[in-house]
Amino acid sequence: MSIPSYEPGSYQPEANGEPLWFMFYKNRIALLAGADGNLRLPHGEQPLASAFPPRLAGDYHGQPCRALLLDSEPGPDYQLTDYRQDTYELLGEELYALGNSAKQLCHWELHSQFCGICGARTLPATPVSKKCPGCGNEIFPPLSVAILAVVTKGESILLVRSHNITGLYHVLVSGFAEPGETLEQCVYREVLEETGLKVGNIRYFGSQSWAHPSNLMVGFFADYQSGEIEVQQEELQSAAFFDRPNLPELPHRFSIARRMADWWVECQDKAFAASGKYIDGSQITMPAGSGGHPYGAGGHPHSAAPKPGAAKT
């Protein structure tokens, strides 16, 4: 699994190249609409004025990437695009990951203008913190941790459909960690709450930053131990085990949920090709260096990278 060739995170020293700009207005990213029909990230000097300060979101092959929260809708030269649904295919994997950092910084910028203790207007302190001049309260970007779980039972995988899914695809059991809870305890609790099943042999797969709005998604594999499926009606439409030949539509490819499901499929296909049989899920090992790459395993990070600032249509 390759090491990313970019450096997300505003703790990184700023590169010397021409900056790329991730500008957000009401949770949508502003991309330049070129005469050639391509949508591009703006680059160079700050393209648009804003009452909010720009923040460093990371480095892309020597180019600093800056996040800017816009306080007014951009003009006709820009197209506002839904970041969650549309931008991965436009920007490519690396820039999309950096945009995740930028989007989270913009969300924090908007929601930390005033101190939550005394109500005073906050002031910038460091690239990733603010300080209240009234009471001294320090404010950092929040992070909510959630788990996803591939639950296997013999040669099958547990998939669910939640009420907020609009397409036909199925997803993995997921949920947010609660105070005082380990991630493994969260996996056990969420699977039990949502499906009535007990699991064991919980093992780490990887993680993904998820800027909707400020989440860290942590993936695990777990083995079915006991119980019958009892769907939590408030959360799910359905839950069922599926074997390899009968898989339903799976989540989008840019999500760690899809990467986890794809790993299960890959392991089953390799086993079937070698022996003519699928394997018990408990025999599936995690990929070497799990979690080292933000959206997918394999391939050199430069192999399909778009030109800096360019996006496909």
Q: What is the mean pLDDT of the chain?
A: 87
Q: Are residues 226 and 271 in the same domain?
A: yes
Q: Are residues 161 and 264 in the same domain?
A: yes
Q: Are residues 84 and 205 in the same domain?
A: no
Q: Are residues 104 and 194 in the same domain?
A: no
On whether residue 138 sits in a domain, the answer given is: no
Structure tokens at 59: 């480095």
Kind of pairing, strands 39-40 and 236-243?
A: unpaired
Q: Are residues 102 and 194 in the same domain?
A: no
pLDDT at 300 over 70: no
The CA-based dihedral angle spanning residues 224, 226, 229, 233, taken in that order and rounded to the nearest 10 degrees: -90
Structure tokens at 203: 């093992």
Q: Are residues 191 and 276 in the same domain?
A: yes
pLDDT category, 254, cuts 50, 70, 90?
confident
Q: Are residues 156 and 64 in the same domain?
A: no
Residue 149 domain boundaries: 144-283
pLDDT category, 34, cuts 50, 70, 90?
confident
pLDDT at 168 over 50: yes
CB 115 within 8 A of CB 130: no
CB 236 within 8 A of CB 175: no
On whether residue 126 sits in a domain, the answer given is: no
Q: What percent of the chain has pLDDT over 70?
A: 87
On whether residue 125 sits in a domain, the answer given is: no
Of 111-120, 147-156, 294-303, minimum mean pLDDT range: 294-303
Query: What is d(CA 210, CA 97) in angstroms, rounded to the nearest whole number?
Result: 9
CATH number at residue 157: 3.90.79.10
Q: Are residues 82 and 149 in the same domain?
A: no
On whether residue 272 sits in a domain, the answer given is: yes
On whether residue 237 sits in a domain, the answer given is: yes
Q: Which of 111, 135, 168 is the endpoint of a domain?
A: 111
The more confidently predicted of residues 305 and 15 is: 15
Of 11-20, 147-156, 192-201, 277-286, minimum mean pLDDT range: 11-20
Query: What is d(CA 263, CA 273) in angstroms, rounded to the nearest whole number?
Result: 15
pLDDT at 3 over 90: no
On whether residue 288 sits in a domain, the answer given is: no
pLDDT at 283 over 60: yes
Cα end-to-end span (Å), the chain: 28
On whether residue 294 sits in a domain, the answer given is: no
**How many domains are contained in the chain?**
2
Q: Are residues 10 and 89 in the same domain?
A: yes
Nearest to 92 by CA among 289, 212, 240, 254: 254
Query: What is d(CA 210, CA 291) in angstroms, rounded to the nearest whole number?
Result: 14
How many residues can be counted in the chain?
313
CB 71 within 8 A of CB 109: no
CATH number at residue 20: 3.90.79.20
Cα–Cα distances in angstroms (integers) from residue 260 to residues 150, 233, 252, 267, 279, in the given order: 7, 25, 11, 11, 16
Which amino acid, 257? A
Q: Which of 87, 111, 135 is the endpoint of a domain?
A: 111
Q: Are residues 279 and 148 in the same domain?
A: yes
CB 107 within 8 A of CB 22: no
When pLDDT is averaged across residues 37-51 and rounded to a whole number, the result is: 93
On whether residue 150 sits in a domain, the answer given is: yes
Q: Are residues 58 and 160 in the same domain?
A: no
CB 143 within 8 A of CB 215: yes
When pLDDT is averaged across residues 149-159 and rounded to a whole number, the result is: 98
Q: Are residues 155 and 266 in the same domain?
A: yes
